[in-house]
Structure 1
């Protein structure tokens, strides 16, 4: 594993570039503001005409432009819109307007790895992928730290793509904690697997199912919420600081014994086989094809599931309980008025 730090990069490379951030969601907000505060004086944010987000960008002291106009101006374009929008965005607005030897960058390898975007031969293509949500990328930078980043180069038309990418990664704070060399394929496939099998799909379903089992057995919903959702943060924070060993060092002997005896009954060989199948579907492109088709159909299943989960009892109970703990909002990672 090759890791780079601030001392390995020339941050002046990115400071001298005209940088277009496409999108101003979680990652876009973080990248644009971190770059600006690192001394990149030429940063613009591309939004669709009439976007309500424009006011947030202007309040941050940044200039708003359109994707097409920004592409004509920029030396480096970082695409931070949702995956499902990027192919059309590139085909219709970015690709036709980019300057020769300009660079297009991504924070996730999805569209490049699965050939949904086929970039022009005369431009650089690199990736800078922070290993954390944009809200954390921003908050860590503000406190003087940084979230580790991945870097990969897919196309090096200028011969300078890696150096520019590394400079960019350091300017958003990645060089403070480490920038790890990878490939678009490795980042994309491991990221999708982690999201689906563990971090999002696996964890959210485990939490909700545990809640349902307790409530269906007659326990108070509030007790089920605390035990199956609220206290997840305690365990995750311990993992974050020192891995699984740190959790087992910190919890009671009773909890540790239950960990060893019961965990393997919940996540058993069947679960592992399903995880392998999930990985195969990612590697073969089956998941990507299904997601593309879902979007072409107007996202019917996706939107139905979003509505169903929004109405789950765990959300209603959680909203009531969180209102009893106002300190949870202090220093919150997500502030919808800003990002």
Structure 2
């Protein structure tokens, strides 16, 4: 996989463009502020009328416009709203108003890969996907560092899509760390698989099952919470810092022996086979179709599952225990 760095990018390619950032959430605020501080002077933030985040964007010194106004004005439109909102946004607001031979960019390939959005043939279509939440993209930039990012090109009528995408990534600070080249298909399918089988679906189900196993065996819920949820951060931080070897270097020999001899009894070859089924749903488009239909129906299953998980005992126990650790609020990642 090829990696690009600051010396490979020409920032002037993005500095000379009118750039519209659609959305001002986690990624949107990072993109807008990082690009502005990298010298992109012609930048606007596009939000729907009445958006609660408009004031935040204006306080940061950005001009706030509607998506329609942004599309008419911009040379490059970066779409940073949730996947399920992008189709109607593009169809109703952006496509009818975008200038000929402009560019449209995304931070995730879902709607392009599954052909839910099919941009006009005159438009450059590319992706810049930082491999970190927006707050990290912003924080790393402000301290003079950067987060790695992926770039991909889907349509390139101008012949410059790749170089502009790389310049945009450099404007975010990502070329300080390294920008890797991929495709919309590879980014989408690996991203969805990682979320569903490991990072979100896998971890949450493993934590819940471990907690319930201890509580049902008669152990105190607080003990189960500490051992099966709270300490996950300690292990993940070690993993993030230096991989699995770093974890095993840092834990006790007793824990390491249990890792080798008991972990595979819980996560066995049957899990891997079921993961292949999850991947097949992603590759075939079944998951994408299911999510689109769920959204069209008003997200009844999604909302019911959200409520069910919120009511689980582990959340109530965790809230009580976290109140005993006020230092955890410092540098909080979410602003609920």
TM range (shorter): over 0.9
The whole-number CA distance in structure 2 between the counterparts of 1:207 and 1:61 is 42
The whole-number CA distance in structure 1 between the counterparts of 2:204 and 2:124 is 38
Partner of 2:223: 223
Report the CA distance between 1:332 and its aligned residue: 2.3
Partner of 1:15: 15
Q: What does the per-residue CA deviation read over 1:87-121, in whole Å, with 9 as the maximum and x for residues that have no partner?
A: 11101011111111111000111000000001001
Q: Which moved more, 1:111-120 or 1:128-137?
A: 128-137
- SS of the residue aligned with 1:120? coil
User: Pairwise mapping of residues 324-335 of structure 1 onto structure 2 (< 5 A)?
Assistant: 324-335=324-335
The whole-number CA distance in structure 2 between the counterparts of 1:56 and 1:224 is 40
- SS of the residue aligned with 2:202? helix
- SS of the residue aligned with 2:95? helix
Report the CA distance between 1:168 and its aligned residue: 0.4
Partner of 1:275: 275
Partner of 1:252: 252
Q: What does the per-residue CA deviation read over 1:187-236, in whole Å, with 9 as the maximum and x for residues that have no partner?
A: 00000000000000001111111111112222121111111111111111
Contact 1:19 1:75 in 2 (8 A): yes
Partner of 2:62: 62
Q: Which moved more, 1:322-331 or 1:255-264?
A: 322-331
Report the CA distance between 1:273 and its aligned residue: 0.6
Equivalences, count: 336
Q: What does the per-residue CA deviation read over 1:285-339, in whole Å, with 9 as the maximum and x for residues that have no partner?
A: 0000000000110000001111111121111211221121121122223345xxx
The whole-number CA distance in structure 1 between the counterparts of 2:89 and 2:38 is 28
TM-score (ref. length: structure 2): 0.98
Partner of 1:294: 294
1:193 aligns with 2:201: no
Partner of 1:178: 178
Contact 1:135 1:334 in 2 (8 A): no
Q: Which moved more, 1:273-282 or 1:129-138?
A: 129-138
In the alignment, structure 1 segments of 5+ residues that lack a partner are: none
Q: What does the per-residue CA deviation read over 1:26-83, in whole Å, with 9 as the maximum and x for residues that have no partner?
A: 1111111111122211221111111111111112211111111100011111101110
Contact 1:34 1:173 in 2 (8 A): yes
The whole-number CA distance in structure 1 between the counterparts of 2:8 and 2:297 is 46
Contact 1:28 1:134 in 2 (8 A): yes
- Aligned-pair Cα RMSD in Å: 1.0
Q: What does the per-residue CA deviation read over 1:116-137, in whole Å, with 9 as the maximum and x for residues that have no partner?
A: 0010011100000111111221
- SS of the residue aligned with 1:157? coil
Report the CA distance between 1:142 and its aligned residue: 1.8
User: Pairwise mapping of residues 1-339 of structure 1 onto structure 2 (< 5 A)?
Assistant: 1-335=1-335
The whole-number CA distance in structure 1 between the counterparts of 2:335 and 2:325 is 17
Q: What does the per-residue CA deviation read over 1:246-292, in whole Å, with 9 as the maximum and x for residues that have no partner?
A: 10111000000010011111111111110000001100000000000
The whole-number CA distance in structure 1 between the counterparts of 2:36 and 2:308 is 40
In the alignment, structure 2 segments of 5+ residues that lack a partner are: none
The whole-number CA distance in structure 2 between the counterparts of 1:250 and 1:145 is 27
- SS of the residue aligned with 2:96? helix
The whole-number CA distance in structure 1 between the counterparts of 2:331 and 2:247 is 25
The whole-number CA distance in structure 2 between the counterparts of 1:321 and 1:307 is 21
